[in-house]
Structure 1
Amino acid sequence: MSDTILTLAGVHTHIGEYHILQGVDMQVPRGGLSVLLGRNGAGKTTTLRTIMGLWKASKGKIHFDGRDITAMATPDIAQLGIAYVPESMAIFSDLTVKENLLLAARNGPLDNSRVEWICGFFPALKKFWNYPAGNLSGGQKQMVAIARAIVEPRKLILVDEPTKGLAPAIILSLMAAFNELKASDTTILLVEQNFNFVRKLGDTVAVMDDGRVVHTGGMQALAEDNDLQQHLLGLSLAAHQ
């Protein structure tokens, strides 16, 4: 985590007549897990979508791994080694679990050893390997979405609300997967409302409010400062342990 893999400098995003991001400045260190926190409507999801090129920045610059990606198309951004797991999961419901992963394997056939590694965290994937993904439960669909993002090594994974609606056992598996990804030098930028989850995983944190980043620092420091939590988020993490 000695250098920065992603930088947003003065990023503004308009969606129709709405000015959502209003000058976002943020740096994501390489090789760790950075958490993006904030109240509902603060601009967290818009930030991820703007990084991925799904919504275009109207002002400012986004640099990834030394390259300006501000105006790049989403497929070109993905080719640089960025994966995105949206809150909606966006899986292909009519395709099987296997076919969903095949579509995400840009470099050819599935790597069986990597699939086995992924199924070690999410055994249900193997059980439903040839089932239409649309027939799975919400938690199982989230497993498919995460698996699709990591079916090949990525430099950066953007993940929006991965634990929403998941059973505790699946959250523990997700935590183990993220820890192993961090150990493999994969950088993760995570939007999440489950504070107990992020305080155990997060290395750094950025807090958004009204379309801007209003605080950056270490996750542990924020987790230990109830007054700062109340000031930035209007709640205490201790209530979510």
Structure 2
Amino acid sequence: MSEVLLQLEGVHTHIGPYHILHGVDCAIPAGGLTVLLGRNGAGKTTTLRTIMGLWQASSGRIRFDGLDISKAPTPDIARAGIAYVPESMAIFTDLTVRENIVLAARSGPVDSGRLDWMLGLFPALKRFWNLPAGNLSGGQKQMLAIARAIAEPRRLLLVDEPTKGLAPVMVRSMIEAFRALKAAGETILLVEQNFYAASALGDHVLVMDDGRIAHSGAMSDLVADPVLQQRLLGLSLDAHQ
């Protein structure tokens, strides 16, 4: 068993009058990629935003490497080593690709070796290096958003639906990039609706339903069990290949 890097214990989150998370319990091991699956509205994005402090947990505890971050402000959580890539990507479209990367590296210029590694993950960014980020395709913007998140070393990446709306060729490129991130030892918590991409990448899987974790285990076990896929997700991997 890998050591637990992030742990949620009985986490509830309210947004205005709405009770979204109903006691989330889960553990994210250090190293590898954990996929958070679930139907629309299950609470997946709320879980990521609660971890990041963008929405405060109403109750429960969130521990990161043993440190209680349940009530910590978002900047402190980021400084602790957690990066968040929202579904909206949150890039600066009027700035160049280079400027987007420079702004993401808050502690100073990006190390040249790290920059070469990042551009190796996402070669398209090198081609558009000095052009406005608004010129990028949807998939390329998503790649830039991820590159911004890893411009400095991070201990945990939270990524929300990186393949949403992408053409199949871009989905395959994104899968290869995440495989390279895994090989580099990054710890990733990934929300993903594309079960094919999720099954290709996940070491561990959490399935959320109605604001709770309904299933936790090895991705390989879920991939091998069409009945479990149908019960938890209402789909099967065969239908998404």
TM-score with structure 1 setting the length: 0.96
- Aligned match of 1:53: 53
- Aligned match of 2:113: 113
For residues 138-177 of structure 1, the aligned pairs below 5 Å read 138-177=138-177
3-state SS of 1:46 partner: helix
- Aligned match of 2:89: 89
Cα displacement string for residues 52-82 of structure 1 (whole angstroms, at most 9, x for unaligned residues): 0000000000000110000001111000111
Whether the 8 Å contact between 1:33 and 1:190 is mirrored in structure 2 is: yes
Post-superposition offset of 1:237: 1.6
Post-superposition offset of 1:174: 2.1
- Aligned match of 1:178: 178
- Aligned match of 2:130: 130
**Aligned AA (2:22):** Q
- Aligned match of 2:227: 227
Whether the 8 Å contact between 2:22 and 2:211 is mirrored in structure 1 is: yes
- Aligned match of 1:30: 30
Post-superposition offset of 1:117: 1.6
Q: Which runs of 5+ in 2 are unaligned?
A: none
Aligned residues: percent identity? 70
Give the whole-Å Cα distance in 1 for the aligned partners of 2:23 and 2:79. Answer: 27
Give the whole-Å Cα distance in 2 for the aligned partners of 1:213 and 1:78. Answer: 25
Q: What stretches of structure 1 move > 6 A for 4+ residues in a row?
A: none
Whether the 8 Å contact between 2:203 and 2:219 is mirrored in structure 1 is: yes
Post-superposition offset of 1:178: 1.7
Q: How many residues align?
A: 241
- Aligned match of 2:68: 68
**Aligned AA (1:14):** H
Post-superposition offset of 1:101: 0.8
Cα displacement string for residues 20-60 of structure 1 (whole angstroms, at most 9, x for unaligned residues): 00100010011010000000000000000000000000000
Give the whole-Å Cα distance in 1 for the aligned partners of 2:31 and 2:96. Answer: 32
Give the whole-Å Cα distance in 2 for the aligned partners of 1:180 and 1:132. Answer: 26
TM-score with structure 2 setting the length: 0.96
Residue 102, structure 1, aligned to residue 108, structure 2: no
What is the RMSD of the two structures over their aligned residues, measured on CA atoms?
Answer: 1.2
